[in-house]
């Protein structure tokens, strides 16, 4: 299951392929979307925004294509005119002179005006996205301390897209290890320095993952690379305290942690 950093990187590659280029074809499988095909010709994709697992493709005519991949949807980049062999069902094709982006298998696809975008039920439900670079640690801290979230255990809170969008299971366990917090804690019961550390990690760790995960050449990289400290490391030694990392299940998902130093 991809998490925010992987989804944002996928959106980056879609943007790199088609952003700013006039559309030469806009094709939609669903009948209710087909009326947009003609009016999108010559328009451009201004930006591809991510909100949790939703992708918002913003066009220069003010419309936005909302797509949520659920479990099966997948976007691909191809050369213009290329139709790849696939057992998946094509739902959307947005083509420019050079490249095309194709959406397969997703069923949750809508075209929205600015007003409809502001009223969309899924988007109203999800919290701010951790990879929205305008979101600050101070705002995250206020959210942690808000009446709505301050009495929720971190194990469940960090998976709730209504709290913050873009977090998933590997980020949940890594953030709690980095801040030395046990998963049963709640924002209402931890110290001010712990709150500050958590608010910073909730943004810093997903952003480090987005920028560096999968990169291996440390010499070319200045600063830290993202590496798993506890995720998929059950039975191994904790690099901070030497304790043994344990695996359990919390909020129906595998949970990894070090009982030696996560208090």
- The contact set with Zn ion (CB under 5 A) reads 238, 240-241, 243, 258, 260-261
Residue among 152 and 240 whose Cβ is closer to Zn ion? 240
Instruction: Classify residue 23 by its DSSP letter.
Output: P
Q: Which residues of 109-120 are buried (b: 16+ CB within 10 A; e: fewer)?
A: bbbbeeeebeeb
Q: Is 192 an annotated catalytic residue?
A: no
Q: Is 142 known to be catalytic?
A: no
Answer whether 163's CB lies under 8 Å from 127's CB: yes
DSSP 144-189: HHSTTTTTSBHHHHTT-TTT-BT--HHHHHHHHHHTT--TT-BGGG
Active site residue 218: no
C-alpha distances out from residue 239 to 71, 149, 155, 178, Å: 34, 31, 22, 11
Residue 229 near residue 174, CB atoms below 8 Å: yes
Least CB distance from residue 91 to Zn ion, whole Å?
46
Find the shortest distance in angstroms from Cβ 177 to Zn ion: 8
Question: Helices in the chain by DSSP H: which ranges?
Answer: 4-18, 31-34, 37-40, 114-118, 121-125, 137-145, 154-157, 169-178, 192-212
Pick the catalytic residue from 6, 240, 253, 254. 253
Closer residue to Zn ion (CB): 93 or 240: 240
Whichever of 18 and 258 has its CB closer to Zn ion, that residue is: 258
Active site residue 2: yes
91 is written with which tokens? Answer: 């739902």
Nearest distance from C-beta of residue 238 to Zn ion, angstroms: 3
Vertex 123: Cα angle to 107 and 142 (nearest 5): 145
Which of 3, 5, 141, 229 is the catalytic position?
Answer: 3
- In the bound complex, what is the minimum distance in angstroms from residue 203's beta carbon to Zn ion? 23
- What is the smallest separation between the CB atom of 243 and Zn ion, expressed in angstroms? 4
Q: CB nearer to Zn ion: give 22 or 259.
A: 259
Residue whose CB is less far from Zn ion, 156 or 260? 260
**Catalytic pick among 8, 51, 53, 141:** 53
Tell me the catalytic residues.
2-3, 53, 253
């Amino acid at each position: 299951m991809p998490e925010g950093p992987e989804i944002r990187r996928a959106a980056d590659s879609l943007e790199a392929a088609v952003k700013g280029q006039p559309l030469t074809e806009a094709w939609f499988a669903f009948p209710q979307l087909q009326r947009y095909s003609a009016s999108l010709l010559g328009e451009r994709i201004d930006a591809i925004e991510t909100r949790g697992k939703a992708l918002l493709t913003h066009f220069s005519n003010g419309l936005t294509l909302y797509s949520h991949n659920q479990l099966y949807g997948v976007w691909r980049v191809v050369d213009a005119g290329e139709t790849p062999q696939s057992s998946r069902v094509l739902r959307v094709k947005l083509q420019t002179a050079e490249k095309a982006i194709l959406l397969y298998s997703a069923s949750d696809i809508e075209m929205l005006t600015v007003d409809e975008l502001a009223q969309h039920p899924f988007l109203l439900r999800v919290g701010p996205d951790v990879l929205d670079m305008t979101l600050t640690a101070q705002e995250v801290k206020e959210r942690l301390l808000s009446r709505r979230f301050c009495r929720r255990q971190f194990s469940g809170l960090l998976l709730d897209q209504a709290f913050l969008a873009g977090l998933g299971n590997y980020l949940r366990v890594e953030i709690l290890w980095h801040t030395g917090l046990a998963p049963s804690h709640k924002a209402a019961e931890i110290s001010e320095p712990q709150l500050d550390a958590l608010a910073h990690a909730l943004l810093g760790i997903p952003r480090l993952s987005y920028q560096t995960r999968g990169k291996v050449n440390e010499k070319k990289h200045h600063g830290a690379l993202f590496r798993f400290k506890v995720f998929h490391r059950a039975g191994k030694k904790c690099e901070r305290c030497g304790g043994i990392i344990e695996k359990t299940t919390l909020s129906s998902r595998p949970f990894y942690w070090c009982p030696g130093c996560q208090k």
